[in-house]
Amino acid sequence: MLRDARVALQRIVDETPWDIDYRILRAQAEILGARWALREGEPEGALLDDAAKPLSGATDRERARPQLYQTLAEIHELRAAFRASRREGAGDEIAKGLAMAEKALAWNPHMATALAVKGALLLLDARTARDLDAAQAAARRAREALSAARRENPLIVRDRGPLFEEATRLVGAHAAR
């Protein structure tokens, strides 16, 4: 089904390359594929690069499309998680993802998906931080962002539930030290 969606969306993108909304949908199909691959094992880095291809050039100017920035933030989140899983530096991807999430939230401060991605990126930052104070601050900010996402859309817990639990656990663990 995912392959069929990719083909159909790519056909539409090829026919209407100026329509950013279809390019966002095409990137989201790739994100879905990357998330599935992550659950099944380790995806190749190229798979994560494929997710960004439909959006190349989309940030050449400011766009009033929070979904664009949220989708880019999610791509950076996946790249950061991939790099962290390989014990490579993820800081650059985390920073870029947070910047994109903030752009999405600047357009729509109630966007649950952008808040959830922001929380996931901050949680990655907390996990990879070498400094205890920085890890605690990132975990706290992650819990705040994830809680805000849940307030905006309680159904987000279906996809991001484990992150809520981990952020709460990390904040408690750091506070106990």
**pLDDT tens track for 64-87:** 899 999 999 999 999 898 888 888
Residue type, 117: V
CA atoms 151, 157, 159, 164: torsion sign: positive
**pLDDT tens track for 99-113:** 999 999 999 999 999
pTM for the model:
0.85
Report which of 57, 62, 53, 67 is spatially closest to residue 21, judged by C-alpha positions.
Answer: 67
Q: What's residue 113's pLDDT?
A: 96
